[in-house]
Amino acid sequence: MNPTPNTTALNRDTWPIATCMHGFSPQLPDGTRLHDASAEVWDGVFRTISSLGFTAVEIADSHIRPADLEPTRRAELVQIAQSHGVAPISVHVQRQSVIQPGKGEQNLAYAHRAIDAAAEQGMSVFSTGLHQPFTEAQQRALWFWTAQGPVDPDDADTRALAVSRLRELGEHAASVGLQMSLEMYEDTYLGTADSAVRLVEEIGLDNVGLNPDIGNLVRLHRPIEDWREMHQKTLPYANYWHVKNYTRDEAADGSWFTSTPTSMELGLINYRAMVELALELGFSGPFLMEQYGGDSLGVCATNRTYLQSLLPPAR
Protein backbone atom coordinates (compact mmCIF):
# COMPACT_ATOMS: atom_id res chain seq x y z
CA MET A 1 0.00 0.00 0.00
CA ASN A 2 1.29 3.46 -0.90
CA PRO A 3 1.70 5.45 2.35
CA THR A 4 1.42 8.83 0.63
CA PRO A 5 -1.68 10.74 1.75
CA ASN A 6 -4.40 10.71 -0.91
CA THR A 7 -4.88 14.48 -1.03
CA THR A 8 -6.56 16.63 -3.64
CA ALA A 9 -6.43 15.94 -7.36
CA LEU A 10 -3.02 17.39 -8.19
CA ASN A 11 -2.05 18.46 -11.69
CA ARG A 12 1.00 19.74 -13.53
CA ASP A 13 0.31 23.30 -12.32
CA THR A 14 -0.22 22.47 -8.64
CA TRP A 15 2.02 19.47 -7.96
CA PRO A 16 4.77 20.38 -5.48
CA ILE A 17 8.08 20.26 -7.37
CA ALA A 18 11.12 21.47 -5.44
CA THR A 19 14.70 22.16 -6.42
CA CYS A 20 17.74 20.87 -4.60
CA MET A 21 20.48 23.20 -3.34
CA HIS A 22 23.40 21.56 -5.18
CA GLY A 23 23.70 24.61 -7.40
CA PHE A 24 24.77 26.75 -4.44
CA SER A 25 28.09 26.44 -2.69
CA PRO A 26 27.78 25.46 0.98
CA GLN A 27 30.63 27.89 1.69
CA LEU A 28 31.02 31.50 0.60
CA PRO A 29 34.27 32.82 -0.94
CA ASP A 30 35.28 34.33 2.41
CA GLY A 31 34.91 30.97 4.14
CA THR A 32 31.56 31.70 5.79
CA ARG A 33 29.21 28.72 5.69
CA LEU A 34 25.92 29.27 3.89
CA HIS A 35 24.35 28.09 7.15
CA ASP A 36 25.78 31.15 8.90
CA ALA A 37 25.39 33.61 6.01
CA SER A 38 23.65 36.96 6.25
CA ALA A 39 20.02 37.54 5.36
CA GLU A 40 21.23 39.29 2.20
CA VAL A 41 23.04 36.15 1.04
CA TRP A 42 20.02 33.97 1.78
CA ASP A 43 17.88 36.47 -0.11
CA GLY A 44 20.07 36.00 -3.17
CA VAL A 45 19.68 32.22 -2.95
CA PHE A 46 15.90 32.33 -2.92
CA ARG A 47 15.77 35.07 -5.53
CA THR A 48 17.72 32.79 -7.86
CA ILE A 49 15.46 29.83 -7.09
CA SER A 50 12.40 31.95 -7.83
CA SER A 51 13.88 33.34 -11.04
CA LEU A 52 14.09 29.78 -12.38
CA GLY A 53 10.39 29.27 -11.80
CA PHE A 54 10.57 27.16 -8.65
CA THR A 55 8.07 27.69 -5.87
CA ALA A 56 9.49 25.05 -3.52
CA VAL A 57 12.91 24.02 -2.21
CA GLU A 58 14.41 21.20 -0.21
CA ILE A 59 16.65 22.51 2.56
CA ALA A 60 19.61 20.14 2.58
CA ASP A 61 21.60 20.11 5.78
CA SER A 62 24.79 20.02 3.71
CA HIS A 63 23.98 23.70 3.12
CA ILE A 64 21.70 24.92 5.92
CA ARG A 65 20.83 22.96 9.07
CA PRO A 66 17.45 24.11 10.38
CA ALA A 67 18.01 22.01 13.51
CA ASP A 68 21.04 24.13 14.42
CA LEU A 69 19.60 27.56 13.64
CA GLU A 70 18.35 29.84 16.36
CA PRO A 71 14.54 30.18 16.30
CA THR A 72 14.80 33.73 14.99
CA ARG A 73 16.97 32.58 12.10
CA ARG A 74 14.62 29.70 11.29
CA ALA A 75 11.79 32.21 11.04
CA GLU A 76 13.98 34.53 9.00
CA LEU A 77 14.80 31.74 6.53
CA VAL A 78 11.13 31.02 5.92
CA GLN A 79 10.26 34.73 5.66
CA ILE A 80 12.97 35.34 3.06
CA ALA A 81 11.95 32.29 1.04
CA GLN A 82 8.29 33.26 1.10
CA SER A 83 9.09 36.81 0.06
CA HIS A 84 10.22 35.29 -3.25
CA GLY A 85 7.25 32.94 -3.49
CA VAL A 86 9.32 29.92 -2.46
CA ALA A 87 8.23 27.41 0.20
CA PRO A 88 10.73 25.17 2.03
CA ILE A 89 8.78 21.91 1.81
CA SER A 90 11.33 19.41 3.13
CA VAL A 91 14.49 19.10 5.14
CA HIS A 92 17.00 16.50 3.98
CA VAL A 93 19.29 15.09 6.67
CA GLN A 94 22.08 13.31 4.85
CA ARG A 95 25.18 11.31 5.78
CA GLN A 96 24.16 11.24 9.44
CA SER A 97 23.08 7.63 9.76
CA VAL A 98 21.42 6.61 13.02
CA ILE A 99 23.60 3.48 12.98
CA GLN A 100 26.90 5.18 12.09
CA PRO A 101 29.58 3.59 14.30
CA GLY A 102 30.41 5.86 17.21
CA LYS A 103 27.89 8.54 16.20
CA GLY A 104 24.56 6.78 15.89
CA GLU A 105 23.02 8.15 19.09
CA GLN A 106 24.32 11.65 18.36
CA ASN A 107 22.86 11.50 14.86
CA LEU A 108 19.56 10.24 16.23
CA ALA A 109 19.32 13.23 18.57
CA TYR A 110 20.15 15.57 15.68
CA ALA A 111 17.44 13.99 13.52
CA HIS A 112 14.88 14.59 16.27
CA ARG A 113 15.87 18.28 16.35
CA ALA A 114 15.61 18.43 12.55
CA ILE A 115 12.06 17.07 12.70
CA ASP A 116 11.01 19.70 15.21
CA ALA A 117 12.66 22.44 13.15
CA ALA A 118 10.97 21.24 9.95
CA ALA A 119 7.56 21.25 11.63
CA GLU A 120 8.21 24.72 13.06
CA GLN A 121 9.06 25.98 9.57
CA GLY A 122 5.90 24.56 8.06
CA MET A 123 7.54 21.83 6.00
CA SER A 124 5.74 18.63 5.01
CA VAL A 125 8.54 16.05 4.66
CA PHE A 126 11.43 14.89 6.81
CA SER A 127 13.83 13.19 4.40
CA THR A 128 16.77 11.08 5.53
CA GLY A 129 18.57 7.79 4.93
CA LEU A 130 21.34 5.54 6.17
CA HIS A 131 24.24 6.83 4.10
CA GLN A 132 27.33 7.92 6.01
CA PRO A 133 30.01 10.61 5.49
CA PHE A 134 32.28 10.31 2.49
CA THR A 135 35.44 8.25 2.77
CA GLU A 136 38.74 9.88 1.86
CA ALA A 137 38.65 8.08 -1.49
CA GLN A 138 35.18 9.49 -2.20
CA GLN A 139 36.34 12.98 -1.31
CA ARG A 140 39.21 12.69 -3.80
CA ALA A 141 37.14 11.26 -6.66
CA LEU A 142 35.75 13.38 -9.48
CA TRP A 143 32.39 11.70 -8.87
CA PHE A 144 32.05 10.35 -5.32
CA TRP A 145 29.97 7.36 -6.40
CA THR A 146 32.94 5.92 -8.33
CA ALA A 147 34.77 5.19 -5.04
CA GLN A 148 33.70 2.75 -2.36
CA GLY A 149 31.79 4.22 0.56
CA PRO A 150 30.79 2.81 3.95
CA VAL A 151 28.77 -0.42 3.99
CA ASP A 152 26.02 -1.35 6.43
CA PRO A 153 26.93 -4.66 8.09
CA ASP A 154 25.13 -7.88 7.24
CA ASP A 155 24.10 -8.19 10.87
CA ALA A 156 20.60 -8.79 12.21
CA ASP A 157 21.18 -6.81 15.40
CA THR A 158 22.41 -3.72 13.55
CA ARG A 159 19.51 -3.88 11.15
CA ALA A 160 17.10 -4.22 14.07
CA LEU A 161 18.69 -1.13 15.63
CA ALA A 162 18.16 0.76 12.38
CA VAL A 163 14.49 -0.26 12.34
CA SER A 164 14.02 0.75 15.98
CA ARG A 165 15.65 4.15 15.64
CA LEU A 166 13.96 4.97 12.33
CA ARG A 167 10.61 3.94 13.80
CA GLU A 168 11.29 6.30 16.71
CA LEU A 169 11.92 9.12 14.23
CA GLY A 170 8.85 8.17 12.23
CA GLU A 171 6.65 8.32 15.30
CA HIS A 172 8.06 11.74 16.13
CA ALA A 173 7.47 12.94 12.58
CA ALA A 174 3.89 11.70 12.67
CA SER A 175 3.26 13.51 15.95
CA VAL A 176 4.11 16.85 14.33
CA GLY A 177 2.33 16.16 11.04
CA LEU A 178 5.29 15.22 8.84
CA GLN A 179 5.82 12.48 6.32
CA MET A 180 9.17 10.73 6.73
CA SER A 181 10.89 9.46 3.60
CA LEU A 182 13.91 7.14 3.44
CA GLU A 183 16.29 7.66 0.54
CA MET A 184 17.56 4.64 -1.34
CA TYR A 185 21.36 4.52 -1.34
CA GLU A 186 23.93 1.89 -2.18
CA ASP A 187 25.46 -0.43 0.43
CA THR A 188 22.91 0.53 3.08
CA TYR A 189 19.78 -1.31 4.22
CA LEU A 190 18.11 0.95 1.65
CA GLY A 191 20.52 -0.15 -1.08
CA THR A 192 18.36 -2.70 -2.91
CA ALA A 193 14.68 -2.66 -3.76
CA ASP A 194 13.87 -5.73 -1.66
CA SER A 195 15.83 -4.56 1.37
CA ALA A 196 14.35 -1.04 1.20
CA VAL A 197 10.79 -2.34 0.99
CA ARG A 198 11.41 -4.76 3.84
CA LEU A 199 12.83 -1.94 5.98
CA VAL A 200 9.73 0.20 5.51
CA GLU A 201 7.51 -2.78 6.28
CA GLU A 202 9.54 -3.54 9.41
CA ILE A 203 9.15 0.06 10.59
CA GLY A 204 5.44 -0.31 10.01
CA LEU A 205 4.22 3.31 10.17
CA ASP A 206 1.78 4.87 7.72
CA ASN A 207 3.78 8.12 7.46
CA VAL A 208 7.12 6.39 6.73
CA GLY A 209 7.77 5.62 3.08
CA LEU A 210 10.49 5.45 0.49
CA ASN A 211 12.30 8.03 -1.60
CA PRO A 212 12.93 5.76 -4.63
CA ASP A 213 16.00 7.66 -5.81
CA ILE A 214 17.02 4.94 -8.26
CA GLY A 215 19.45 7.38 -9.88
CA ASN A 216 21.71 6.79 -6.88
CA LEU A 217 22.02 3.17 -8.01
CA VAL A 218 22.01 3.61 -11.80
CA ARG A 219 25.16 5.72 -11.56
CA LEU A 220 27.25 3.04 -9.83
CA HIS A 221 30.24 1.59 -11.68
CA ARG A 222 29.25 -1.98 -10.83
CA PRO A 223 26.43 -4.41 -11.64
CA ILE A 224 22.99 -3.09 -10.62
CA GLU A 225 19.43 -4.35 -10.42
CA ASP A 226 17.19 -3.65 -13.40
CA TRP A 227 15.92 -0.09 -12.98
CA ARG A 228 12.41 -1.09 -14.07
CA GLU A 229 12.15 -3.81 -11.46
CA MET A 230 13.49 -1.49 -8.75
CA HIS A 231 10.79 1.06 -9.51
CA GLN A 232 8.06 -1.56 -9.70
CA LYS A 233 8.99 -2.80 -6.22
CA THR A 234 9.55 0.54 -4.51
CA LEU A 235 7.03 2.97 -6.03
CA PRO A 236 4.10 1.46 -4.10
CA TYR A 237 5.88 2.68 -0.94
CA ALA A 238 6.98 6.10 -2.23
CA ASN A 239 5.95 9.29 -0.43
CA TYR A 240 8.70 11.64 -1.72
CA TRP A 241 10.84 11.34 -4.82
CA HIS A 242 14.31 12.62 -5.69
CA VAL A 243 14.43 12.42 -9.48
CA LYS A 244 17.60 12.61 -11.54
CA ASN A 245 19.08 10.61 -14.38
CA TYR A 246 22.37 9.31 -15.72
CA THR A 247 23.60 7.87 -18.97
CA ARG A 248 24.97 4.41 -18.30
CA ASP A 249 27.06 2.04 -20.36
CA GLU A 250 28.58 -1.30 -19.45
CA ALA A 251 30.41 -4.19 -21.05
CA ALA A 252 28.41 -7.35 -21.68
CA ASP A 253 31.06 -9.36 -19.84
CA GLY A 254 30.92 -7.08 -16.79
CA SER A 255 34.50 -5.87 -17.20
CA TRP A 256 33.65 -2.15 -17.09
CA PHE A 257 30.87 0.28 -16.23
CA THR A 258 30.50 4.02 -16.67
CA SER A 259 27.91 6.72 -16.01
CA THR A 260 27.51 10.47 -16.40
CA PRO A 261 24.85 12.86 -15.07
CA THR A 262 22.32 14.01 -17.66
CA SER A 263 18.77 15.34 -17.84
CA MET A 264 15.72 13.32 -16.81
CA GLU A 265 14.66 12.94 -20.43
CA LEU A 266 17.97 11.69 -21.82
CA GLY A 267 19.23 9.18 -19.22
CA LEU A 268 18.81 5.45 -18.77
CA ILE A 269 15.65 5.69 -16.64
CA ASN A 270 12.51 6.21 -18.71
CA TYR A 271 10.76 8.69 -16.45
CA ARG A 272 7.76 8.96 -18.76
CA ALA A 273 6.99 5.32 -18.01
CA MET A 274 7.96 5.47 -14.34
CA VAL A 275 5.92 8.59 -13.54
CA GLU A 276 2.93 7.01 -15.28
CA LEU A 277 3.39 3.91 -13.11
CA ALA A 278 3.73 6.00 -9.96
CA LEU A 279 0.52 7.88 -10.67
CA GLU A 280 -1.32 4.62 -11.33
CA LEU A 281 -0.14 3.44 -7.90
CA GLY A 282 -1.45 6.59 -6.24
CA PHE A 283 1.76 8.55 -5.68
CA SER A 284 0.96 12.11 -4.60
CA GLY A 285 4.09 13.20 -2.78
CA PRO A 286 6.43 16.07 -3.70
CA PHE A 287 9.09 15.69 -6.37
CA LEU A 288 12.63 16.96 -5.82
CA MET A 289 14.73 17.92 -8.85
CA GLU A 290 18.34 16.88 -8.26
CA GLN A 291 21.41 17.26 -10.44
CA TYR A 292 25.19 16.92 -9.99
CA GLY A 293 27.71 18.85 -12.04
CA GLY A 294 27.40 21.62 -14.60
CA ASP A 295 24.60 24.16 -14.17
CA SER A 296 22.74 22.11 -11.58
CA LEU A 297 20.00 24.70 -11.10
CA GLY A 298 19.49 25.12 -14.83
CA VAL A 299 19.16 21.38 -15.41
CA CYS A 300 16.76 21.16 -12.46
CA ALA A 301 14.59 23.81 -14.12
CA THR A 302 14.71 21.97 -17.45
CA ASN A 303 13.80 18.74 -15.68
CA ARG A 304 10.88 20.44 -13.93
CA THR A 305 9.43 21.52 -17.26
CA TYR A 306 9.83 17.98 -18.61
CA LEU A 307 8.28 16.45 -15.48
CA GLN A 308 5.30 18.80 -15.65
CA SER A 309 4.62 17.55 -19.16
CA LEU A 310 4.25 14.04 -17.69
CA LEU A 311 1.75 15.07 -15.02
CA PRO A 312 -2.01 15.35 -15.58
CA PRO A 313 -3.21 18.69 -16.95
CA ALA A 314 -5.62 20.88 -15.02
CA ARG A 315 -9.24 20.05 -15.76
Answer yes or no: is 5 within a domain: no
Nearest to 97 by CA among 3, 196, 172, 183: 183
Q: Are 12 and 312 in contact (CB under 8 A)?
A: yes
How confident is the model at residue 1, as a pLDDT?
Answer: 43
Kindly report the CATH number assigned to the domain that includes residue 212: 3.20.20.150
Helices 227-234, 193-203: axis angle to 10 degrees equals 10
**Residue 315's pLDDT is what?**
84
Residues of the chain with pLDDT under 50: 1-7
Report yes or no on 260 lying in a domain: yes
- Does 9 map to a domain? no
Question: What is the tens place of the pLDDT at every residue in 39-96?
Answer: 999 999 999 999 999 999 999 999 999 999 999 999 999 999 999 999 999 999 999 9
Q: What is the pLDDT of residue 8?
A: 56
Domain residue limits at 221: 17-310
- Say what the pTM is: 0.95
Mean pLDDT score of the chain, rounded to an integer?
Answer: 96
- Residue 248 · residue 218 · CB < 8 Å: yes
- Specify the pLDDT at position 4: 43
Residue 305 lies in a domain: yes
Can you give the pLDDT at residue 7?
43
Domain count, the chain: 1
The predicted pLDDT at position 9 comes to 82
